[in-house]
Amino acid sequence: MDKTTLIPVIKVESLCKSYKKIKAVNQVSFSVNKGEVFGLIGPDGAGKTSIIQILAGVLKADEGKAFINDIDVTKNPEKAKAIIGYMPQGLGLNLYDSLSIEENIEFFRGLRLIPDEIFEKNKKTLLEITRLTPFLKRQARALSGGMRQKLALVCTLLHLPDIILLDEPTTGVDPLSRQDFWNIIHGLVRERGVTVLLTTSYMDEAERCHRVALMHEGRILLQGSPDELGNLEEVFIEKVSSSQKVSSSHLKEVPFSHSESFFCRSERSEESHIISCKSVTKIFGKFKAVDSVTFDVKRGEILGLLGPNGAGKTTLIKMMCGLLEPSGGSISINGFDVRKEKKKIWSTIGYMSQRFSLYRDLTVMENMKLYAGLYSVKKGDFRGIIELLGLKGLENRTTKDLPLGIRQRVALACALLHEPPVLFLDEPTSGVDPIARRSFWKIIFELSRKRGVTVIVSTHYMDEAENCDRLCLMHHGRLIAMGSPEEIKKGSEKISGTLIQLKSKQFHQVYDLIIKEIQNISIYGSKIFIRSFEPETTIRKIEELLKNAQIREYEIIEVTVPLQEAFVDYIRESEDN
């Protein structure tokens, strides 16, 4: 954004909020300028939601002040509500499931008492930019996660407020919907000068903000523009690590059991491909959830399963786990047919769900003993797995008292108790801080590289997808791309061309100049991305435009296509075919 427009419209000063003995917000101060996208970035429990709720007037602060357009919301929250749009955390949490898209919009129109003329104009504009017009009669409960968030945004923006507060707007939303969501936000900022304060646990989304504040345990660690701060994950880890000792940051190479034959079972396939899916199809009534999917997975490979909400990923995983019967095709895991040998399949695989599924009132050891009984694991010595997963010393702690990252390790320990050669992970690190995520992935690499475990992981974190050996992209039930992250990116360049990055302090002037002459443009915070099959020609054209407009301060370079952009390219290509 242009520095000439730095007018603070949100100001937070020494804000504090406690829940019993937990200080959720601890002396937090920051400001957000008019027409700026400001991100509060951090894991679950960092204090982000409490700050948003205080600014929205739905939560009372213990100490400090918070201003919106010079209105102190800690003293007079009702006065500020007319000028803000607030979207709470959760996939369309502010919607009514039994109402259609149109009925939800009408309901929020009534709440805001929006005059007919303004309402019809705003409704038409918002439905166009969210592309929801064809689905007006569909009930909210029948919408995908991405569509729910778009509808929630429409309802939030019906009165077109000058200030928007968005709490975790893209959590649980697929990369394509995230891209659409950000295009809408930046369009509102560019065209209407809207100010946006949002929270997110996705570090890669910080690139799309003008400025960010990194948060951890109620405090702001650092704030500034993404360019100024550098690699945010590295910065976060460095800041947190310097102030506290990070437990289990390295992994010991110890076996799960005292046996030398770790995961070496007599009853298993010795083929290099441990998973084989051939023309796998699943039909529910007239709906084809999975459409003739074929692929193999090598022993010890980490395969990332990616796709928009409703792409068929979960249905495919359930079929591979023997929980759903395929309508067509065949699946074998470790040489066992999922149709005929379900019990052998279940003893061959480990599954860790996205939602923490253990008993919170039981200790770590009690949970492990419970799952050992479910898996018919007779041995009671869990020292190997406890050490491997960094749980030593925590055996007698109740799981509800553990940080989210440690709870995820407990869930992983329980999924591995029966020593399965295949492990399924469904969004395993959602909401977990970067240190815990990095430690978790060290464990995954240990299992894959040292122990030969095959890992199938679904994730919406694009930086996690980079860790996979291969990626499997699905859309509308079909497999649309498969390959290593680098192969996926190179394939993306064949679809949409080389990626050119343009930065300038005169952002708005530059954008307005080139959008008239060049197509295929997107915005990432203060950066402009241009796709071109003739990058050298395009760069010369841009430089000529800037020169003629007497713009001298800018940077234009070719950059590697982010996996997020590549993902969107494949989705859109599949829809065009």
Mean pLDDT of 128-138: 87
How many helices and strands, by DSSP H and E, does the chain display? 19, 24
- Taking only the tens place, the pLDDT of each residue in 143-182 is 877 788 889 888 988 888 999 999 988 876 777 777 888 8
Residue 375 has pLDDT above 90, yes or no: no
497 or 356, which is more confident? 497
Does residue 255 form part of some domain?
no
Does residue 263 form part of some domain?
no
User: What mean pLDDT is reported for the chain?
Assistant: 86
Range(s) of the domain holding residue 499: 488-576
- Identify any residues that bridge with 282 across adjacent strands, giving them in sequence order: 290
Does residue 264 form part of some domain?
no
Residues 450 and 567 in one domain: no
Residues 323 and 376 in one domain: yes
Residues 6+ apart with CB under 8 A from 462: 175, 204, 562, 563, 564, 567
Does residue 257 form part of some domain?
no
Residues 385 and 509 in one domain: no
Could you tell me the two tokens for 560? 């590697």
Provide the pLDDT for residue 255.
41
Could you tell me the two tokens for 252? 């010991």
DSSP string, 83-94: GEEEE-SSTTTT
Residues 544 and 457 in one domain: no
Residues 436 and 459 in one domain: yes
Does residue 217 form part of some domain?
yes
Mean pLDDT of 106-133: 88
Percent of the chain with pLDDT strictly greater than 90: 46
pLDDT interval class at 92 (50, 70, 90): low
Residue 4 has pLDDT above 50, yes or no: no
Residues 88 and 66 in one domain: yes
Domain boundary among 423, 453, 483: 483
Residues 478 and 497 in one domain: no
Residues 160 and 21 in one domain: yes
Does residue 461 form part of some domain?
yes
Residues 523 and 433 in one domain: no
Provide the pLDDT for residue 257.
39
Residues 198 and 118 in one domain: yes
Does residue 267 form part of some domain?
no
Specify the number of domains making up the chain.
3
Does residue 159 form part of some domain?
yes
Domain boundary among 192, 225, 241: 241
In which element (H, E) is residue 188 found? helix 175-192
- Taking only the tens place, the pLDDT of each residue in 380-414 is 778 888 887 888 888 999 988 887 778 888 888 88
Residue 271 has pLDDT above 90, yes or no: no
- Asked if residues 67 and 10 have their Cβ atoms less than 8 Å apart, the reply is yes
Q: Distance between CA atoms of 263 and 507, rounded to whole angstroms?
A: 56
Residues 174 and 289 in one domain: no
- Taking only the tens place, the pLDDT of each residue in 176-207 is 777 888 888 888 888 888 999 999 888 878 88
Residue 576 has pLDDT above 80, yes or no: no
Amino acid in the structure at residue 227: D
Q: Distance between CA atoms of 132 and 311, rounded to whole angstroms?
A: 19
Q: Distance between CA atoms of 407 and 357, rounded to whole angstroms?
A: 10
Going from the C-alpha of 26 to that of each of 32, 67, 411, 416, 437, the distances in angstroms are 19, 17, 31, 38, 24
Instruction: For residue 504, give the CATH number of its domain.
Output: 3.30.70
Residues 452 and 543 in one domain: no
SS (H, E, C) 507-559: HHHHHHHHCCCCCCEEEECCEEEEEECCHHHHHHHHHHHHHHCCCCCEEEEEE
- Please tell me whether the overall predicted TM-score, pTM, comes out greater than 0.95 for this model: no
Provide the pLDDT for residue 293.
96
pLDDT interval class at 547 (50, 70, 90): very high
Name the most confidently modeled range: 129-133, 141-145, 497-501.
Answer: 497-501
Question: For 119, how many CA atoms within 13 A lie in the half-sphere containing its CB?
Answer: 14
- Taking only the tens place, the pLDDT of each residue in 360-372 is 889 999 999 988 8
Domain boundary among 466, 483, 500: 483
- Taking only the tens place, the pLDDT of each residue in 451-493 is 899 999 988 778 889 999 999 999 889 999 999 999 999 999 9
